[in-house]
Amino acid sequence: MKIPERPKPYRESLPKALSWSAETNKEVLELVKRYNEGYVHWDELRRKVLPTDPETVWALMKLTRESQCRHVKFHEVLLSFNMTSEAHRIVHMLDTGASGLMMVEEPLSKQEMDRYIVSSLMEEAIASSQIEGAVTTTKDAKRMLRENRKPRSQSERMILNDYLTMQRIKEIKDQPLTVEIILELHRSITNGTLEDASSEGRFRTDDEVVVADPFELDKVYHRPPSFVKLQTYMEDLCKFANNEDDVSFQHPLVKSIILHFMIGYVHPFVDGNGRLARALMYWYGLKRNYWLFEYMAISKVIKESKGKYGLAYLHAETDDNDVTYFINYNLDCMEKALKNTRDYIARKQGEQRESLKLISSHPELNFRQAEILKDLIKRKGEPVSIMEIASKFSVVHQTARSDLLFLVEHGLLDKMKVGKRLLFRYAPKENGSAPQAGPSE
């Protein structure tokens, strides 16, 4: 990734910008308004065709931004940010989107929504780990989590750690943030994955950590603050998270994103900072009663635009720690994550109707059994274990086993043994008739 060019101090160009005629100013001020609404960075602005030199336009853009911006200070780091019209639109949509999420003609059952929460937690944990280099496929990772199987690689260990951490975050969402909780969450995220196990849940003890290009190690994107200041930075971070009565109000979603940014900026640990940063953003959303966060796999969206994610950090740092770029990027990801949730519910409504049709053609099935059969039909012959069905449909092992055997007995599934594991699959006969029931176990 190319490091964006830093602009020179804008005040050097300000006298020229303020000396224009009113007619000249009008044209340029329209550009300033448009580029500030899109929050264009200097590195992009300098490549545009402009009616005057880019330094002059940038000076007016910065003057306008600074006249409207807000500030947050963490020890020696002063952050600034603005709220664009687009940002206001998204936070309003997210503020009101939760109610719209459930206003549907055919509401999904509580069991279906509970299953989706589990699935979303898995998606969030998997994607957050994949952003940081986990190479396990989403399909294999989900199977590991559903079957409660021990991880077989460091990548799977990362994903399991993230999943357990997400569950822990739900348990502590009503607690104030403390340095001890930050250390606990880091210990959970990195358990068994670091070269030096003593670094789990412990701030880094030197300044050798930098954020660099993995393919060009001499290209350093960011040098975090000195390790001797980490305790103070983290204490300030906790005060920021816990102070809900501050006269300088920040929108809760904006605060969650600033928490995300600061963990990445301070880089308090030798590894696991990105996963911790995204986990804290998720925690704060739940803490401030954004319950729809349980249904939103935000890291999945971030993973799909990983280059823009890194660039949002760099734009902020190369523009005097103006985190508006990072806020705008993450709000956009939140909006897309909510859209994914709505699309899921619409898809599940269609599948629910299909299941009811399946029940009408097979009156011997209950709704859950029809859902299981439909799930295996979609797998196109891929086998599934009892444990995976029990996890996915939130039932005990015996219930899942009984359902699967019932479907076998009625000629709708085949069963097989692989080693000691009993597996089931949908395998229709070539003539189109339902498969015959296998021998009882």
From the list 124, 202, 110, the residue with the least C-alpha distance to 163 is 124
- Between the alpha carbon of residue 362 and those of residues 357, 367, 374, 404, the distances in Å are 9, 11, 12, 15
Q: 283: how many CB neighbours lie within 10 A of its CB? A: 25
Instruction: Please report whether residue 14 resides in a domain.
Output: yes
Domain presence at residue 99: yes
Do 337 and 377 lie in one domain? The reply is no
Q: Note whether residue 299 is domain-resident.
A: yes
Query: Residue with structure tokens 């954004």?
Result: 290
Specify the pLDDT at position 216.
66
Asked whether residue 331 falls in the same domain as residue 431, the answer is no
Quick one: 258 and 303 in the same domain?
yes
Which stretches within 147-289 are classed as H helix? 154-171, 179-190, 230-242, 252-266, 273-287
Do 187 and 220 lie in one domain? The reply is yes
Based on the fold, state whether residues 230 and 250 are members of the same structural domain: yes
The last residue of a domain, from among 308, 343, 378: 343
Q: Do 336 and 426 lie in a common domain?
A: no
Into how many domains does the chain fold? 3
Whether 355 maps to a domain, the answer reads: no
State the CB neighbour count (10 A cutoff) for residue 413.
26
305 and 416 in a single domain? The answer is no
Residue 356 lies in a domain: no
Rg (CA), the chain: 26
What's this model's pTM, rounded to 2 decimal places?
0.82
Q: What is the pLDDT of residue 357?
A: 78
Task: Give a three-class secondary structure readout of 29-83.
Answer: HHHHHHHHHCCCCHHHHCCCCCCCCHHHHHHHHHHHHHHHCEEEEECCEEEEECC
On whether residue 289 sits in a domain, the answer given is: yes
Residues of the chain with pLDDT under 70: 20-24, 98-112, 213-217, 244-247, 355-356, 428-441
CATH code (residue 420): 1.10.10.10
- The answer to whether residues 108 and 56 belong to one domain is no
191 lies in the same domain as 240? yes
Chosen domain end from 26, 45, 68: 68
Find the domain containing 58 and state its range.
10-68
Q: Which of 343, 373, 388 is a domain's end point?
A: 343
Partners of 73 in the β-ladder: 78
Q: Do 390 and 330 have their domain in common?
A: no
Q: Under DSSP, is residue 415 helix (H, G, I), strand (E, B) or coil?
A: strand
In this structure, are 134 and 272 located in the same domain? yes
Residue 117 domain-assigned (yes or no): yes
Nearest Cα to Cα of residue 162 among 65, 55, 277, 68: 277
Residues 6+ apart with CB under 8 A from 224: 207, 209, 210, 211, 265, 266, 267, 268
**CATH number of the structural domain spanning residue 323:** 1.10.3290.10
pLDDT value of position 401: 93
Query: 186 with 169: CB under 8 angstroms?
Result: no
* Cα separations in angstroms, 296 against 128, 228, 258, 293: 13, 36, 19, 5
Q: CA 306 to CA 153: how far, in whole Å?
A: 23
User: Is residue 222 located within the same domain as residue 287?
Assistant: yes
Spatial CB neighbours of 436, under 8 Å, sequence gap ≥ 6 = 411, 429
- Residue 348 inside a domain? The answer is no
